[in-house]
């Protein structure tokens, strides 16, 4: 039985997410105590692009928690910024549009979104709830509190949304990754992992694609990937083609690879039956 996913043109687009730049607007002043909260400031584009922003608090004018924005506690609403665009994740539909910051306000252009209807009414309603609050030019500020920056959106209606910044891989590894395509064999293989006795490793080889989305050249040699792929969970018996970002680890522990792989998207899947 073969199940193939459509090769989307998106799978072959190249892009770079800028790492978070040092910014005096969002960095606590020298001598500030560890864990102290910095003064709120308007963020720059590099800082916004350096994090995934997870909604952690939302209150209305009277200070009441807006429960309708927390439909799935395990998958909070997420904002991602990059290339002058903002994306909303973990709502019913994927949403995205252009953005700019003007006079301390987040100005979001008309948002495009997929047209999926969710059976869960509360989840289905989440699209409009977050869309409306992004469309009214809320003020935007970022503060530092401990290790994670906090992004606040405040609307003229009195709503306050607080998002906690989770560093992107480019921020964690100190630079943009290199896009690669890896074919993952259906079965993991026992391997001699220096830190995990009895480990099972992914058997992979690199594939190459042209700008038209068609395979080119000769696949690389099969080899074991000791470090695994962040964000990818292998299912035995399923062959996958993955688009990944490869990052260089600046100070890898002894006996480990200097390369780190992060899943970008699953391009193709095939259930292999012997």
Whether the predicted pLDDT of 26 surpasses 50: no
pLDDT, position 196:
73
For the chain, give the percent of residues with pLDDT over 90: 66
Q: CB-hemisphere CA count at 13 Å for 54?
A: 12
pLDDT, position 5:
37
CA–CA distance, 117 with 217 (Å, rounded to integer)? 41
Is the Cβ–Cβ distance between 264 and 12 less than 8 Å? no
Mean pLDDT of the chain: 85
pLDDT, position 243:
96
For residues 85 and 115, which has the higher predicted lDDT (pLDDT)? Answer: 85
CA–CA distance, 165 with 144 (Å, rounded to integer)? 10
Q: What is the DSSP letter of 76?
A: -
Whether the predicted pLDDT of 75 surpasses 70: yes
CA–CA distance, 248 with 177 (Å, rounded to integer)? 8
Range in 34-43, 129-138, 180-189 the model is least confident about: 34-43
- 223 is written with which tokens? 């080899």
- What is the span of the domain harbouring residue 183? 174-271
Same domain membership, residue 43 and residue 152? yes
Closest CA to 252 of 180, 174, 165, 197: 174
pLDDT, position 19:
35
pLDDT confidence tier of residue 113, bands split at 50, 70 and 90: confident
Is the Cβ–Cβ distance between 99 and 106 less than 8 Å? yes
Q: 2 Cβ partners below 8 Å, 6+ apart?
A: 270, 271
CA–CA distance, 9 with 128 (Å, rounded to integer)? 28
Same domain membership, residue 162 and residue 46? yes
pLDDT tens-digit series, residues 243-263: 999 999 988 877 778 999 999
- SS3 assignment, position 120: coil
Out of 167, 189, 220, pick the residue that ends a domain.
Answer: 167
Same domain membership, residue 180 and residue 163? no
Same domain membership, residue 209 and residue 123? no
Q: How many domains does the chain have?
A: 2
Q: Whose structure tokens read 């003020």?
A: 139
Out of 134, 167, 200, pick the residue that ends a domain.
Answer: 167
Q: Structure pTM?
A: 0.77
What is the mean pLDDT of the segment spanning 212-230? 92
What is the mean pLDDT of the segment spanning 56-68? 97
CA–CA distance, 90 with 75 (Å, rounded to integer)? 6
- 14 is written with which tokens? 């190249």
pLDDT confidence tier of residue 13, bands split at 50, 70 and 90: very low
Closest CA to 252 of 213, 226, 224: 226
Same domain membership, residue 183 and residue 160? no
- SS3 assignment, position 179: strand
């Amino acid at each position: 039985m073969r199940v193939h996913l459509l090769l989307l043109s998106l799978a072959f687009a190249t892009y770079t997410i800028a790492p978070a730049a040092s910014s005096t607007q969002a960095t606590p002043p020298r001598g500030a105590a560890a864990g102290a909260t910095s003064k709120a400031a308007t963020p720059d584009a590099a800082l916004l692009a350096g994090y995934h922003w997870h909604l952690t608090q939302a209150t209305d004018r009277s200070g009441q928690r807006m429960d309708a924005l927390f439909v799935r506690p395990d998958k909070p609403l997420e904002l991602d910024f990059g290339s002058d665009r903002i994306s909303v994740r973990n709502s019913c539909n994927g949403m995205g549009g252009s953005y700019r910051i003007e006079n301390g306000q987040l100005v979001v252009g008309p948002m495009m979104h997929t047209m999926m209807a969710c059976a869960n009414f509360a989840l289905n309603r989440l699209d409009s709830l977050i869309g409306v609050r992004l469309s009214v030019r809320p003020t935007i500020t970022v503060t530092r509190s401990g290790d994670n920056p906090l992004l606040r959106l405040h609307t003229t209606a009195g709503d306050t949304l607080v998002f906690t910044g989770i560093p992107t891989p480019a921020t964690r590894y100190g630079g943009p990754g290199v896009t690669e395509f890896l074919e993952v064999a259906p079965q993991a293989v026992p391997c001699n992992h220096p830190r995990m006795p009895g480990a099972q490793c992914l058997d992979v080889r690199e594939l190459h694609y042209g700008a038209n989305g068609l395979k080119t050249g000769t696949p690389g040699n099969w080899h074991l990937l000791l470090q695994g792929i962040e964000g990818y969970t292998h299912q035995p018996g399923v062959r996958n083609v993955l688009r990944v970002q490869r990052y260089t680890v600046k100070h890898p522990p002894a006996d480990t690879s200097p390369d780190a792989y992060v899943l970008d998207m699953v391009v193709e899947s095939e259930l292999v039956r012997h």
